[in-house]
Structure 1
Amino acid sequence: MRTILALFFSLFILSCSSESETDLQADIIIYGGTSAGITAAVQAKKMGKTVIVVSPDIHLGGLSSGGLGFTDTGNKAVIGGLAREFYHRLYLHYQQDSAWKWQKREEYGNKGQGTPAIDGENRTMWIFEPHAAERVFEDFVRENQLEIHRDEWLDRESGVTMENGKIVSIRTLSGKTYRGKVFIDATYEGDLMASVGVSYHVGREANSVYGETWNGVQVGVYQHRHYFRDSISAYKIPGDPSSGLLPEISSELPGKNGDGDSRLQAYNFRMALSRNPDNRVPFAKPDNYDPARYELLARVYAAGWKETFEKYDPIPNLKTDTNNHGPFSTDYIGKNYDYPEASYERRKEIIKEHEDYQKGLMYFLSNDPNVPEDVREEMAHYGLAKDEFTDNDNWPHQIYVREARRMIGSYVMTEHDVLGAKEVPQPVGMGSYSLDSHNTQRFVTLGGFVQNEGDIGVHPKQPYSISYGTLVPKKEECSNLLVPVCVSSSHTAFGSIRMEPVFMILGQSAAAAASLVIDGNQAVQDLDYEKLREVLLEEKQVLEN
C-alpha cells in the first residue's frame, strides 16, 4: 500500500511540474527578444512587475547584436533612458584594454555616423562589435533576473486566446501557454499583433491616404547613390529584348508615382567583416553559386563605378559593419514581398535566399575576373570575422527586416509629424533620423535600361516626438496590447522611426505604460498620460524639443 501511495504521489508531482512548465503566468508577457523587448523587460522589472520574455530567437538584441554596429543615431541628444544606458555600457566595455584584441585603441579611427564613435564627454559608444552588444543585453538579463524563454515561436494560427477584447494568453508551437495582464509585441514582424486581429498595413500607402509627398511609388527620385547613373541594358544580350532580362530584374511595370503598393524596402544582412588575417574567414563559394546573377554588377563596374567600399564602415578591432551601397549591392531587392505574412517555413526559405545571394555576391567580388583587379585585391584583405556569430558559421543570426507589418492604431505617425508640420500629442520618445527607405524594386525602363526605385532620404529639420498613440491599437480591437516596433505609422514615417535606438526607447516606454495600466486596472487606451509622462521623465527619457 505504501508503495502504491508513493507511486501515486510521484505521478501527482510530475503532473503538477509538467503543468507548471507549460502553463506560465506573469504581469507582462513580451513577445520578441529584440532590443525593444529587452529594454521593455528591464523597465517592467524596475516598476515591480513580473515579466516573461518569449523569444523566438536564441540570441537577444535583434539587429543591435546582429551586425548593425554602426548605429543610426541621428541626433544622439534625444536618445535617453535605457537606450542611452546601453550605449554607455558599450563605452565602459571599450574602456577596457581587454576589449581591443585585434587593434590598438589609439589606432581606431573613431568614425561614427554623424557623431564620434567614442563620445568621451557623454561616456557613450555608438559603434561596436556584435558580440559586445549581445553581452550588454545578457548583462541586462542577468542583473535584472529576467525570465527569458528562447526558441519559443507563437502559434500564429490558433495560439491567441481573447476574451472581451483582451488577450488572455498566448501559446507557442512547443505547447507552452503564457498568461498575462498586458502583452507587448516587440518583434520586427508584428506576429502577435497580427494574430490578435489588430489592423495593420504592409507596403506603401498612396500619398493620398495621409496627404503625404514621399510615400507610394517614387520612380525617378534619387536621394542617395543607390541607383543606376549610366544607361545599362537590362537584357542578357545588351539591347536585345528577345534575349530575356538579366537575373534580379523585374519585368513588372514600376507603377505610377504616388500610388500605393504592397512592395517592401529591401532586406539584407549587416555582415561583420574582419581585416585582421588572424581573425578572418575567407569568402567561400556557395554550393549554388552562379556568376550570371551578378552580371549586372559587372556591367556597373564596366561603366566606371568605383564606390565598392563606401559602406564598409569601421567598427572596433579592424572589423566593419558592411551595409548596402550603390545600384547593385547587398540589398536583395524585390525578394522579400511575401515575408511579413509568410509562414515560418517560407520565411526560412526567404532568409536562406538572401543569405545565398549575399554570400554569392561576396565570392563574386573576391574572385570574378569581371570585377576590377583593384577591387579584388582590396577584397582579399576581408573575410567574415572569425570571432563573431560563432555558432552560425560567422554569419549574422538576424536578417535586417527593415519593414514588415505596421499597425494602424490609435494615432498614425506620418511624414507630417516627422518633418515638423504638426505637433505630436502625448510624446513617449523622440526620433531624428531621415525618412529613410531602401529600394523596393529593380525594373526595366521603357528604353530597355535597368533602374531601381523606392530609395528616399528626406531629413527632418529637427528631432520630433513620437506619440503614445503609435504604440496602442484601436480600443475596439484589443485593450491590453502595446506594439513598440511595428508602430502605427505610414511607410515614410516608419523610415525614420525604424532605428534601433528608437526601438529601445519605445520598448522602455511601452513597458512603463503597461505597468501603469496594470496598477490602474484599465485599458492601454485609457491610461492617464500625465502619469506616464512623469515616469518617463524620471527614467530620463527625452520626450520633446
Structure 2
Amino acid sequence: MKSNHKYLFGATTFLGLLFILFIFQGCKNQPAHTFEADVVIYGGTSAAVIAAVEVAQSGKSVIVVSPDIHLGGLTAGGLGWTDTGKKETIGGLARNFYHRVYNHYQQDEAWKWMQKEEYGNTGQGTPAIDGDMRTMWIFEPHIAEQVFEELIQENNIELYRDEWLDRKNGVKKTDGKITSITTLSGKTFQGKMFMDATYEGDLLASAGVSYHVGREGTNVYGEEWNGVQTGVYHHRHHFKVLAQPIDPYWEPGNPVSGLLPRISPDPPGEKGEGDNRIQAYCFRVCMTNHPENRIPFPKPEGYDSTQYELLVRIFDAGWREWFGKFDAIPNRKTDTNNHGPFSSDNIGMNYDYPEASYERRREIIKEHETYQKGLLWFVANDKRVPEDIQTEMKKWGLPKDEFTDNGHWPHQIYVREARRMIGKFVMTENELLKRTPTPQSVGMGSYTIDSHNVQRYVDENGHVHNEGDIGVSLPGPYEIAYGALVPKKEECQNLLVPVCASASHIAFGSIRMEPVFMILGQSAAVAACMAIDKNSAVQDVEYEKLKKRLLHKGQVLTLENIIQ
C-alpha cells in the first residue's frame, strides 16, 4: 500500500512537471511583456486621453503608452488660462472636458481659498465660467488632471505610465504598417492602428515618417509670416516697448567686453529665410498670493544672478509690466505666462530639443527650470529690482496644493513646437487666412496665429532685439484638414498624428492650442476605428462617412455647423 502511494505521488509529480514545461514553452512563444489592442496610443497629453476615450466608446480596445506619469500635458501642467479662441468651435469630447471642469467649480467645496463670488470670471474673449454653455475654460492644474484621470477610469482604459519609446529599435513595420512598438523597459505593444499623441513626435520619426523642425522659408509654401521676421514687432515681447534701446555688452558700447548672458552672437538671418530655430519654451507656473497656501519661491541649485543682467537694464529703462501675464485662475492662483522683452521664455535655449536624446532633453528641461526658478527668486530678492515690483512679488509664491510630488513646480515644460509631420496635406497660413480652401475638415481652430520669439540678437547699431514673435489675427475660425493628421501613404498606412500635425511653423502657431489637440485627438480616433472596420489604410478612410460620424459625435467641422 505504501509503495503504491509512492508510485502515485511520483506519477503526479512527473505529470505536473510536464504541465509546467508545456506552459513555459507557451510563454516562450508569447513573451510575457507583450500587450495587444486595436489601437495603441503613444503619449500622455490631453489629445492622448481624449483619443483613448473615443476609441473605448467606439467599442474598440485601446492601450495608452505614456512616457509621462501625470496625464494631460500642458492642460494639467499649468496652462489653465485656456487659449480658447472662438469657444463655439470646440465640440465633442473636448467640450465635455470643459463641461466636467464647469461641474467641479459649481460645488461650494471647490472654492477653498476664495469665495466663488470673488472670482472675476475673466477669460480669453469669453467668460471663464460660461453658464449658457455650461463650460469652464479657466481652472487649476490639479483639477484638470483629476478630470483626465476620471475619464481614464470611467472608460476602463488600459494605461502604462513612465514608458518611453525605444527610438532606435522600438518600432517594427511590415508592408508599410506599424506592427508593434517597444519601450525602453522591454514592453512591446501590438496594434492594428497607432497614434503619436506626443508633443515631440518621437513615434512618427521612429516610424520613418517625414517631418520638419524649425521655420520654413516664406518661399516654401508661399507664406508671409514664416521664416526670419526681423523688424516685425507684434504683442509686447520686444525691446521696442522701451523708451530707449538696450546695450547688450557688459561694458556698454564695448563689444570686446562680451555679450550679456542669453544674447546670441550670431546674426539673425535674412528676412523670410528658413532656419532651425523654434519657439521658446517655458513653464506655465502656477502661483498664489494666499498666505496659507503660499510657499516662497525657492532659490534653485546653481543659481546665478548674472543671468538676469539684461532684465536689470530693462527695469532701469523704466519697464514696469512684470505682472502683465499673472492671469487669474480660481482660488487666488495664476497661470503665469511670458510677458515683455525678458521673461519666462528661455529664448534660444531649446533648438536641439526636438531631436535630442532623452538624456539631453532632461538636461534642457533642467536648464529651463533653473533659469525660470532663478528668475522668480531674482525678482523677489535681488536689490537691483525696483522696490515696487519686489514688494508686490514677495506676496506671491508656489501653491502648496499644486504639483505636490514635484516641489510644487509644473511637471510639464511648454513644448510650443518640436517636430511637425509633413503629411498628406500641409496646413499653412494660407488656409488659416482663407486665401486657399481646406479639404476634408475634421475640426476647427480659431486662435490668433501666435508664435513666440525664437532668438535674441544684436543689430547693426549695437542694440539687443528679440525676433520671431508673431501675432496675426484671423478673419474667423478655420478648418483643419484630415490630411494633416495622416502621413503620406507610402510612408505609413496605420499611423495618425493629432499633435505634431502636418503644418508649417507659422500655421502651427495657431493649431498648437490645447483644445484643438483634444479635437484632433478625437477625430483621429474615430478615423482609426473606421480604418479598422474596413481593414483600410488611414489615408483611404471615406471622408463623407467620417464627416457624418464626427458630426454625430458633436464635432464642429465648418462654420455651418458651429455651436450656437
Coarse TM-score class (shorter-chain normalised): over 0.9
Shift of 1:12: 5.9
Aligned partner letter, 2:36 = Q
Give the match's secondary structure for 1:443. strand
Aligned to 1:54: 65
Aligned to 1:244: 258
- Select which of 178, 182, 185 maps to 1:167: 178
**Alpha-carbon distance between aligned partners in 1 of 2:411 and 2:322, rounded to the nearest angstrom:** 24
- Select which of 441, 464, 470 maps to 1:456: 470
- Select which of 193, 200, 204 maps to 2:211: 200
Q: Deviations over 1:149-199 (max 9, x none)?
A: 101100000101111110011100010111100100000000000000100
Aligned to 1:478: 492
Aligned partner letter, 1:128 = F
Shift of 1:4: 5.1
Give the match's secondary structure for 1:274. coil
Shift of 1:458: 0.3
- Select which of 407, 414, 419 maps to 1:405: 419
Shift of 1:237: 1.0
Shift of 1:280: 1.2
Aligned to 1:253: 267
Aligned to 1:65: 76
**Alpha-carbon distance between aligned partners in 1 of 2:551 and 2:436, rounded to the nearest angstrom:** 23
Shift of 1:447: 1.4
Give the match's secondary structure for 1:271. coil
Aligned to 1:347: 361
Scaled by the length of structure 2, the TM-score of the pair is: 0.95
**Alpha-carbon distance between aligned partners in 2 of 1:247 and 1:424, rounded to the nearest angstrom:** 44
Asked whether 1:282 is paired with 2:306, we answer no
Q: Deviations over 1:293-314 (max 9, x none)?
A: 1000000000000100010000
Aligned to 1:503: 517
**Alpha-carbon distance between aligned partners in 1 of 2:298 and 2:542, rounded to the nearest angstrom:** 56
Aligned to 2:35: 24
Give the match's secondary structure for 2:200. coil
**Alpha-carbon distance between aligned partners in 2 of 1:11 and 1:492, rounded to the nearest angstrom:** 60
Q: Deviations over 1:346-392 (max 9, x none)?
A: 00000000000000000001001111011111111110111000000
Asked whether 1:226 is paired with 2:237, we answer yes
**Alpha-carbon distance between aligned partners in 1 of 2:386 and 2:490, rounded to the nearest angstrom:** 59
**Alpha-carbon distance between aligned partners in 2 of 1:16 and 1:357, rounded to the nearest angstrom:** 53
Give the match's secondary structure for 1:77. helix
Give the match's secondary structure for 2:287. strand
Asked whether 1:513 is paired with 2:527, we answer yes
Asked whether 1:147 is paired with 2:161, we answer no
Q: 1:7 to 1:361 in 2, by over 3 A?
A: farther
Scaled by the length of structure 1, the TM-score of the pair is: 0.98
Query: Percent same amino acid among aligned pairs?
Result: 66
Alignment of 1:119-138 (within 5 A): 119-138=130-149
Q: 1:97 to 1:251 in 2, by over 3 A?
A: same
Shift of 1:11: 6.6
- Select which of 333, 358, 362 maps to 2:376: 362
Aligned to 1:543: 557
Aligned partner letter, 2:132 = E
Give the match's secondary structure for 2:443. strand
**Alpha-carbon distance between aligned partners in 1 of 2:14 and 2:389, rounded to the nearest angstrom:** 77
**Alpha-carbon distance between aligned partners in 1 of 2:20 and 2:157, rounded to the nearest angstrom:** 31
Aligned to 1:377: 391
Aligned to 2:3: none
Asked whether 1:494 is paired with 2:508, we answer yes
Q: 1:12 to 1:63 in 2, by over 3 A?
A: farther
Aligned partner letter, 1:217 = V
Give the match's secondary structure for 2:292. helix
**Alpha-carbon distance between aligned partners in 2 of 1:282 and 1:348, rounded to the nearest angstrom:** 25
Aligned to 2:188: 177
Shift of 1:102: 0.6
Give the match's secondary structure for 2:384. coil
Aligned to 2:48: 37
Which stretches in structure 1 are left out of the alignment for 5+ residues? none
**Alpha-carbon distance between aligned partners in 1 of 2:54 and 2:67, rounded to the nearest angstrom:** 21
Aligned to 1:525: 539
Number of aligned residue pairs: 545
Shift of 1:445: 1.2
**Alpha-carbon distance between aligned partners in 1 of 2:526 and 2:116, rounded to the nearest angstrom:** 38
Aligned partner letter, 1:186 = A
Shift of 1:6: 3.8
Structure 1 outlier segments of 4+, above 4 Å: 7-21
**Alpha-carbon distance between aligned partners in 2 of 1:354 and 1:465, rounded to the nearest angstrom:** 34
Aligned partner letter, 2:219 = S
Which stretches in structure 2 are left out of the alignment for 5+ residues? 1-9, 560-564
Give the match's secondary structure for 1:516. helix
**Alpha-carbon distance between aligned partners in 2 of 1:247 and 1:433, rounded to the nearest angstrom:** 33
Give the match's secondary structure for 1:397. coil
Asked whether 1:210 is paired with 2:221, we answer yes
Aligned to 1:426: 440
Q: 1:243 to 1:49 in 2, by over 3 A?
A: same
Aligned to 1:435: 449
- Select which of 313, 316, 321 maps to 2:327: 313
Q: 1:7 to 1:512 in 2, by over 3 A?
A: same
Aligned partner letter, 1:312 = F
Q: 1:5 to 1:537 in 2, by over 3 A?
A: same
RMSD after superposition: 1.2
**Alpha-carbon distance between aligned partners in 2 of 1:14 and 1:276, rounded to the nearest angstrom:** 60
Asked whether 1:235 is paired with 2:246, we answer no
Shift of 1:3: 3.7
**Alpha-carbon distance between aligned partners in 2 of 1:87 and 1:453, rounded to the nearest angstrom:** 34
Aligned to 1:337: 351
Give the match's secondary structure for 2:265. coil
**Alpha-carbon distance between aligned partners in 2 of 1:341 and 1:77, rounded to the nearest angstrom:** 36
